[in-house]
Amino acid sequence: MEENASSSARLWPKGAGLAKLVREHDWAATPLGSIQSWPQSLRTIVDLALSSPVATIVLWGEDNTQIYNDRWAWLMGAKHPAALGQPTQECFPEIAESMASIYSRLREGEGVVLNARKLPIQRGDAIEDAWWNVHYLPARDESGVVAGVFCTVVEVTSQGIAERGWDEANATLQKSEQRLRDVLDGMSEAFGLMDRDLRIIT
């Protein structure tokens, strides 16, 4: 019976792609410890993340150790696969400071939704502006304590760029209107200095 349970543990989580990487990762070298020792709460939330149809990541423990699905791996680009099992603050130092207050709210049991939020992210050698719809949920362990974070994200960068482009276009239009008003005001002053024969009065 114990042998069957041990064999089942070695085959979890089932599947290819990120499921296989999670199954074969050296978790004993991370704060989470050996995968065979993970609590059922963590196993359940990891199963949910791996089967999610959108980019999903689990941050577990005080170090926010990362476990994510294939779609999240794709958006991380060059950070994957080293990011698997890495504390998220080390993986994303470019946003660590801005995320600190959000993690604090989550640890208090509060869900957080960010719509079209601009969060710069490093891809390759460059840090790019990117926009996201992000949903954070506190994840609890068997005792009911918040032990982690369940996060789903949908990139809406094209929408963000469109909105930024509209803002820039609107600002340009306002500047053009102001220049036109300045010109018209100047013309009014000039016409005010002319007599009926359009001779400039000095």
- Reported as a single tens digit per residue, the pLDDT across 77-131 is 889 999 999 999 999 898 889 889 999 999 999 999 989 888 777 766 778 888 8
What's the pLDDT at 180? Answer: 47
Q: Is 57 helix (H, G, I), strand (E, B) or coil?
A: strand
CATH architecture for the domain at 2-155:
2-Layer Sandwich (3.30)
Q: What is the pTM of this model?
A: 0.71
| Per-residue pLDDT tens digits for 26-43 | 999 999 999 999 999 999
- As a whole number, mean pLDDT of residues 14-29 equals 97
Instruction: Specify the length of the chain in residues.
Output: 202
Burial 122-146 (b: 16+ CB within 10 A, else e): beeeeeeebbbbbbbbbbebeeeee
Q: What is the DSSP string of 100-144?
A: HHHHHHHHTT--EEEEEEE--EEETTEEE--EEEEEEEEEE-TTS
Asked whether the beta carbons of 63 and 87 are under 8 A apart, the reply is yes
Instruction: Spell out the domain ranges in the chain.
Output: 2-155, 157-202
Nearest to 123 by CA among 153, 92, 164, 152: 92
- Report which residue type is found at 44: T
Nearest CA to 124 out of 66, 70, 76 is that of: 76
